[in-house]
Structure 1
Amino acid sequence: MALDWGFEFLNGLQKLFLNPLFYYLFIVAGLLGFSRVKRERKQFHVRAKDPFFEIRQLLPLGFVLGLILSVVTIAAGLVIPIETVIFAALFTFLWSLTTNFRFLSPVYTIGFAFFATLFFLSKKWSLPLIESHTPEWNQSILPPIAALLGLLIIAEGILIFRNGRKGTSPKLVKGRRGLRVGVHEVKRLWMLPLFLIIPGEALQVPFEWWPVFSVGGQTYSILLVPFAIGYYQQIQGKLPVLAVMQAGKKIVKFGIVLTCLSVVGYWYPLASIVLVALAIIGRELLSMRQRLVEDNLPFYFSQRNHGVMILGVIPDSPAEKMGLDVGEVVFKVNGVTITDEESFYEAMQKNRAHCKLEVFDVNEQVRFVQRALYEGDHHQLGILFVQNEKKWEDEVAVAKEQSDLGYTNHFPE
């Protein structure tokens, strides 16, 4: 029996690479990265992260969470109809075409797949080119899908909390008074490969105590399914890391409540319909409340009368090596008090071989950072500020002038 299970896991793993959604998600993540770089270059003339950042974030943590949830779903005996798997993939494709990545939350892909499965099986229809082994329609098919939805929402919250806070993208927008202000944008896509038990003629399940189904001669197989989890958040009134972590915690709690309530469906299967509907409504309310709270907060990244706030730090730049962070305010450069970006670079010219900064950190504590400057260092130290309105040609001219003075030979990207 153990050998049969081993072969089934290997077979399920093989089918992952035959699933077109697996490759499609890599393509979407790549397009997401390139569109982000295009926007950042347009606004800052330099990218904050390389275009492959989103692809690198796509799988590692999702793979770990997928293994954990696979153990949970198999141990709990959640049997998911192949129709649900196919509908979830279709809705993933459809929602991705909107380019609104919050619609790739499991509550919208699995949630809508739940109702599509309910309607489809109740009509006793069959999918073309698909040999379904789903048993005759009955209400006991519904609770496992609702439980899976709750577990995937928990995974969504963990991914947001642990991974969404990394590499948030700085962005310039128009504030309420028409002035240019800064925000941070999180637009992320993750893949969560999950082993699922589906009805099929491959593996005989020996455990009579599993609550989802009765064995009764029905056979089952294991399929490794790639689920997409998308997230979008624009942050204007808080530090990006804190805002994303708070959002992740709320979604984890929401998923835990849904998973616990899904147990009721095993006694009252129709309760699963109500639960999934409430999940969709509840997740939408969470998103609406988040946007309303953000809209009512003052802009955190705005031009200051004293000092300049750091909107972004370019990886591997002198700024990162000095330990500067998003949300900190630089108020002195080489002993000169600064008021804007222009005075910042003028003060840097006082000593082209060394840079000493005095900053207020995010806890409003004063700290000092300094570093020697070398040929080839980024001409702006790798700091992104909330810029004044000006043409890119002027910035290129400034960069060239600094180069002629011997400060650096590195031009904006």
Structure 2
Amino acid sequence: MNLVIKLITFILLGIPQAIFNPFFWFVLVIVYIQYKRAADFEEKMFGFVTTNPIKRVSSSLLYGIFGGFLGSVIVVALGVSIAGSGLSYVWPLALLLMLISPHLMCFSYAGGIISVISLLFGVPKVDVAGLMALVGVLHAVESLLIYLSGHLNASPVFIKDEKRGIIGGYLMQSFWPVPFILLTIATGIPSGVDAVNMPDWWPIIRPPFVDLENALYLMLPVVAALGYGDFALTRLPGKKGRESAFNLLIFSTLLILLSVLASRINFFKYIAALFAPVGHEYLINIGKTKEKKGDPLFTVPPFGMRILYVLENSPAEKMGLKPGDIILSINNKAVNSIEDLKEIKALAPAYLWMEYLNTKNEVKYSEMSFYPYGFENLGVVLIPRGEEVPAISLEESSLIKKIKNLFSKKPSS
């Protein structure tokens, strides 16, 4: 127990050093820029912002620190070190892959490719097991962060659907600066270093290029940037986020287990190196396929106007309206289009009563006073019926699309 307490103390002392690293604040600025872009997108499309970017950054900061602590515990428990891990090769390749598609910047792809090249040609000299374990730990942290906060502040969007025309959905985008601890290896014990004797079974991930009998593991504060992007069309963001987190946790757990085996059995190095990019790409595409083939929640109803999003503290929220509800009539006037709402708004009624259908197909009634200024806005996003609206389309990932195009090209005659 004293060993565990001492290691946790070292981690808690090391993480603030990562937070005060200038690169951490650089990552934080990048996170703010991403959230500011999302806010500008919402303002342009709907005329309001769901969540202030500063508030989102603050939330991401707290979740990132928490995730970094848990990730550090896993790293130390496994004994994952950066000795020969190949990070100096992985980062440049990840940036190059990003030019093909942003999602390819993930270390699963660059780490897997570098590992396979190292295994086949012997250069660069890489600790495949350690590198794959690090990728697995980062994805485990990411799965936790997605579960806790990936569904928060999801942005409403309109999607072009081949069968149904315009449908509604949510764009889930979250970014986290993650300060955490990695291990590096030195020989001998430097003066002034508080050392801890580890059990004989440790490290679980054994580095191949180090004499463990004379090795000293040092805790090194580092910074990672994790991100999550997905669409929720057939489920609400909360349920979609939990499912994505669970699938990613399974992937990361399997990758870590393969890394442990790879540190002992050479054959599993090949399995782990291939599993990282292939498994990650499979996760992405299986999620997209499920969303595209499933029945979307937010379609145009036979009559009335379906609510996609309810703005916080808006009149609609105070009236008890929720996403998925269908507005049938307002002040005894049927509502079947945006124009119908505009006509009601033009009258600026001081009192509003509404008939709507909830998600359980129950007819409900609600009312609210707008005295003395009159009704101006409900504070909702509605699925358009025939109106022209900015919409996005879901396409296959660039990697799969490029592979298909490569093999579908006909030879020239």
Q: TM-score, normalised by structure 1?
A: 0.75
Question: What is residue 180 of structure 2 aligned with on the other side?
Answer: 194
| 3-state DSSP of counterpart to 2:309 | strand
Structure 2 CA distance, aligned partners of 1:302 and 1:42?
Answer: 22
Q: Which residue of 2 aligns with 1:79?
A: 81
Alignment of 1:195-210 (within 5 A): 195-200=181-186, 203=193, 204=195, 206-207=197-198, 209=200, 210=202
254, 259, 269: which is aligned to 2:256?
259
Task: Work out whether residues 309 and 328 of structure 1, in 8 Å CA contact, stay in contact via their aligned partners in 2.
Answer: yes
For the residue of structure 2 that corresponds to 1:389, the secondary structure is: coil
Mapped to 2, the partners of 1:256 and 1:185 lie a distance apart of 27
- Shift of residue 60, structure 1, vs aligned partner: 1.8
Do structure 1's residue 226 and structure 2's residue 223 form an aligned pair? yes
2:178 maps to 1:176: no
SS of the aligned residue for 2:303 comes to coil
For 1:325, what is the secondary structure of its paired residue? coil
In structure 2, the residue matched to 1:155 is 141
One-letter amino acid matched to 2:270: I
On the 8 A contact 1:143/1:265 being kept in 2, the answer is yes
The offset of 1:265, in angstroms, is: 1.8
Cα deviation for residue 348 of structure 1 reads: 6.2
Kindly indicate whether the alpha-carbon contact (under 8 Å) linking 2:136 and 2:253 is maintained by their aligned counterparts in 1: yes
Residues 351 and 375 in structure 2, CA contact (< 8 A), matched pair in contact too: no
SS at match of 1:196: strand
Cα distance 1:56–1:265, how it changes in 2: closer, same or farther (>3 A)?
A: same
Inter-CA distance 327–225: structure 2 relative to 1 (3 Å threshold)? farther
- Measured after TM superposition, the shift of residue 89 of structure 1 is 5.0
Query: Deviation at 1:383?
Result: 0.6
Instruction: Determine whether 1:303 maps to 2:311.
Output: no
Q: Which residue of 2 aligns with 1:339?
A: 336
Partner of 1:42: 44
Q: Distance in 2 between matches of 1:5 and 1:215?
A: 22
Please report how far the alpha carbon of residue 284 of structure 1 lies from its aligned counterpart in structure 2 after TM superposition. Answer: 0.3
The CA deviation string for residues 354-407 of structure 1, in whole angstroms up to 9 with x for no partner, is: 433343333434444444336689932211112353699xxxxxxxxxxxxxxx
Give 1:230's aligned amino acid: G
Letter in 2 for 1:145: L
Alignment CA distance shift 1:205-1:298 (3 Å): same
Of the structure 1 ranges 209-218 and 383-392, higher mean CA displacement relative to structure 2 is found in: 383-392
Question: How far did 1:301 drift?
Answer: 2.4
Q: Which residue matches 1:127?
A: none
| Rounded Cα–Cα distance in structure 2 between residues aligned with 1:314 and 1:105 | 33
Is 1:17 matched with 2:20? yes
Distance in 2 (CA, whole Å) between partners of 1:57 and 1:377 is 36
Greater Cα shift, 246-255 or 7-16? 7-16
Change (3 A) 1:368 1:158: farther
**Cα gap change, 1:281 to 1:380, in 2 (>3 Å):** same
- Give the Cα–Cα distance (whole angstroms) in 1 for the partners of residues 51 and 342 of structure 2: 23
2:387 pairs with 382, 386, 389, which one? Answer: 389
Q: How far apart, CA to CA, are the structure 2 residues paired with 1:351 and 1:81?
A: 69
Aligned partners of 1:106, 1:318: CA distance in 2, in Å?
Answer: 45
Q: RMSD between aligned alpha carbons?
A: 3.8
Q: Is the 8 A contact 2:18 2:179 kept in 1?
A: no
* 1:246 shift after superposition: 2.0
User: Contact (CA 8 Å) 1:334, 1:356: kept in 2 or not?
Assistant: yes
Mapping 1:280-291, distance limit 5 Å? 280-291=277-288
Indicate yes or no: 2:213 matched with 1:216.
Answer: yes
The structural deviation recorded for 1:315 is 2.8
Q: 1:277 aligned to 274, 280, 286, which one?
A: 274
Q: Is the 1:334–1:355 contact (alpha carbons within 8 Å) kept by the matching residues of 2?
A: yes
Question: Which residue identity does 1:76 align to in structure 2?
Answer: L
Q: Deviations over 1:37-60 (max 9, x none)?
A: 232233223333333354234322
- 1:110-149 paired onto structure 2 within 5 Å: 110-111=111-112, 118=118, 123=123, 141-149=127-135
* Paired residues of 1:188 and 1:232 also in contact (CA < 8 A): yes
Cα distance in 1 for partners of 2:355, 2:97 equals: 47
Amino acid at match of 2:282: L
Q: Distance in 2 between matches of 1:281 and 1:168?
A: 28
Cα distance in 2 between the residues matched to 1:175 and 1:4: 52
Any stretches of 5+ residues in structure 1 without a counterpart? 125-136, 393-413
Shift in alpha-carbon separation, 1:191–1:93, aligned structure 2, 3 A: farther
* Equivalence map 1:313-328=2 (5 Å): 313-328=310-325
Contact 2:178-2:224 at 8 Å conserved across structures: yes
